[in-house]
Structure 1
Amino acid sequence: MTRVAVLQMTAGIDPHANAAVLADAIADAAGEGAAMLFTPEMSGLLDRDRKRAAASIVAEEDSTPLQRAREAAARAGIWVALGSLAVRLEDGRWANRAFLIDAAGNVAARYDKMHMFDVDLATGESWRESNAYAAGGEVVTVEGTPIGHLGLTICYDLRFPALFEELGNRHCDVISIPAAFTVPTGKAHWHVLQRARAIEASAFVVAAAQVGEHADGRRTYGHSLVIDPWGEVLLDMGGDETGIGFAEIDSARIAEVRAQVPSLANRRPIAK
C-alpha cells in the first residue's frame, strides 16, 4: 500500500497566494505519510480575464508556484503531481502544463494538455481555450514513481477515449486527471467518466479538482476523486470544501483486476 494525498483548492488570481497554498499542502501531505501529492488543474493561477492573467503567466523558469512547489517537495521529501500551471511559451502563446516533481525537487516529467476546452454551454458559459493556449501533442507516462507507472492528463482530456486507450496500452498503474470542471458538466459527467476511465485502463485514477467560487467569477465542481481499477470510488472530497484527502494505492489490486477481467490483454486492433 502506498498513501497518496489529494489537494482540493480554490485557486485565485494571485500566483503568490496560490504558491503558498501549494507549499503548505505539500508539507501537510508529507506530514501525514503520503508518498505523493496530487494538485488540480491551474493550481498556480485561475483567471478567465486573459488580459489581466497575461501579467502573471510567465516562462516555466520564472514561475513562482513551480519554484515554491519544487522547494517544498525537496524539503518534505515527497513527490508532487502538480496538476497544471499556465506557462508562457517562446512564441508568446501559453501552455496548460502538468509537472511531475520528484522527492528531490526535480522536474521528472512535463505534459501539455492535448485537448482544448472550446465549448458553449446551455447555461450561457462560453470557453475558448484554444484562443490562448497551444495544444500539446505527446502522450506522457512516467515509470519509477512511488505509485508505479503514472500517466498524465488534464481535465478536458477526460472526454477523449483514444488518449486513455493509449495509457491503457502502456499499462499505466495510475492515471492523473487534474481538473477545474464547470459545475454543469461536473454534475452531468464527472463521476461516470472518471470511473469509466479507471475501468477501461484497469488502473487507479486520481482526479484532484478545483472547487467553489473563484476570484475571477467562475464556479468549479470539486469532488476530487480516487478510483480503483474496478471503478470503486475510494475518495470523494465533495463539492463544497477545500482541503487534503488521502487514499491508499494497492498495486496488488491492479494485478487482481487485470487477471479477473483481462481487457487490456484481450484488446484487438480495429480495422480502418
Structure 2
Amino acid sequence: MPLAAIAQFTSTNILAQNLKICQNFIHTAASKGAVALFLPEASDYISSSVEESLTLCQPVDTSPFVLGLREEARKCALRVSVGIHEPTGDGLKERVRNTSIWINERGEITQRYQKVHIFDVDIEGGPRILESRSTEPGTVLTPPFDTPIGKLGLLICFDLRFPEVSLALRRLGASVLTYPAAFTVPTGQAHWETLLRARAIETQSWIIAAAQVGKHNEMRKSYGHAMVVDPWGKVVAECLEEKEDICFAEIDNQMIARVRREVPLKRRLSVPHLYSNKN
C-alpha cells in the first residue's frame, strides 16, 4: 500500500527557515518510502500583520520558498502538497490568496486550489482573526486528480466546517481529501478531530490533515495534531506532541471500496427538495 507522510511545524515570518524545515521533511518522507508529503496551510510564512503578509507574499515563479520546495521534491522524486500565499491578480496588492499547490515528483506544480471559505473568528477571551480583511476567497473547487494514493481533492483549513464542499468532491470521484490547516488552539481543542472524523465518515474517504503547531508570534498560536483518518472514521496516524513532527499512514484504497459497498450512501433528497413547499 502507498505510504503518505503528514507533517506539522511552526511557520514564522522567516521564509528561509520555513523552507529548511520543509526540505528536511521531504528528505525524511523520501527516506521512509513515502510517495507523497503533506505540509500545512501557510507553510511559507505566518505573519503578525496584514502589512507584513503583503510584503512577504511572492508569486510562485519567483518565490524562493516555492522554488526551493520544487527543487527538493525533484531531487527526492517525491510529490508534495503544501499551503502557501500568492499575490492576487488584480494588481492592487491589498490582499493575498491562500492556496494549496500540488508539486509532482518532477518538481512541477500541476494542481492549485484557492481557499473558498475564509476564516473570521472573534472568540471572547481567545483569538481574534479576520482573514477576510487580508485574503481573497476562492470561487471554485479544483476537480479531484489522480495520485499514487488515490484520487485527491484539495481543501484548506476552514473549509473543514462546510461539509458541502467535501461532499461535492466526493461526488466528483475523490477518495482522499486534504485539509492543510492552522487551527487556533481553542477551536482545535473543541472541533479539530471531531470535524475531521465527520468528514471521513460522511464522504467515506481518507482524510489527510497536515497542521501548523505552536507559537508563531505574539498574536498567533496553532493547535497542531496533524492526522490521518480512514474512511470508517478511525484516526490511524497523529502527531501528538506540540512540536515539529511527522507521521505516516498507509492509504488502503481497497478499504474505500469496501466501506462504500457495505454502507452505501444513496442520497434521495437534494437541497432544493429539502426547502420545497410542495406537499
Q: TM-score range by the shorter chain?
A: over 0.9
CA contact (8 A) 1:203 1:228 kept: yes
DSSP-derived class of the 2:55 partner:
coil
Aligned partner letter, 1:181: F
Q: Which has the larger radius of gyration?
A: 2
Q: CA deviation at 1:217?
A: 3.7
Q: CA–CA distance in 2 between the matches of 1:51 and 1:216?
A: 16
> Unpaired segments of 5 or more residues in structure 1?
none
Q: CA deviation at 1:141?
A: 3.1
Aligned to 2:15: 15
CA contact (8 A) 2:144 2:172 kept: no
Task: Please give the TM-score of this superposition, normalised by the length of structure 1.
Answer: 0.95
Q: CA–CA distance in 2 between the matches of 1:154 and 1:166?
A: 15
CA contact (8 A) 2:144 2:169 kept: no
CA contact (8 A) 1:141 1:149 kept: no
Aligned to 1:128: 130
CA contact (8 A) 1:168 1:200 kept: no
1:194 correspondence with 2:196: yes
Q: CA deviation at 1:161?
A: 1.3
Q: CA–CA distance in 1 between the matches of 2:52 and 2:202?
A: 40
Larger deviation: 206-215 or 57-66?
57-66
Q: Which residues of 2 match residues 152-167 of structure 1 at below 5 A?
A: 152-167=154-169
Aligned to 1:58: 58
CA contact (8 A) 2:144 2:173 kept: no
DSSP-derived class of the 1:24 partner:
helix
> Unpaired segments of 5 or more residues in structure 2?
none
1:88 correspondence with 2:90: no
Q: CA–CA distance in 1 between the matches of 2:268 and 2:3?
A: 31
Q: For residues 206-247 of structure 1, give each alpha carbon's deviation from its aligned partner in whole angstroms, at most 9, with x where no partner exists.
A: 000011111354211001010000000001111412121111
Q: CA deviation at 1:66?
A: 1.1
CA gap 1:194/1:185 in 2 versus in 1, 3 angstroms: same
| Percent sequence identity over aligned pairs | 38
Task: Please give the TM-score of this superposition, normalised by the length of structure 2.
Answer: 0.93
1:43 correspondence with 2:43: yes
Q: For residues 233-263 of structure 1, give each alpha carbon's deviation from its aligned partner in whole angstroms, at most 9, with x where no partner exists.
A: 0011114121211110001110011011111
Aligned to 1:269: 270
Q: CA deviation at 1:266?
A: 4.2
Q: CA deviation at 1:17?
A: 1.0
Q: For residues 56-98 of structure 1, give each alpha carbon's deviation from its aligned partner in whole angstroms, at most 9, with x where no partner exists.
A: 111222212211111111110011111x111112322310010
Q: CA deviation at 1:148?
A: 1.4
Aligned to 2:220: 218
Give the root-mean-square deviation of aligned CA atoms. 1.3
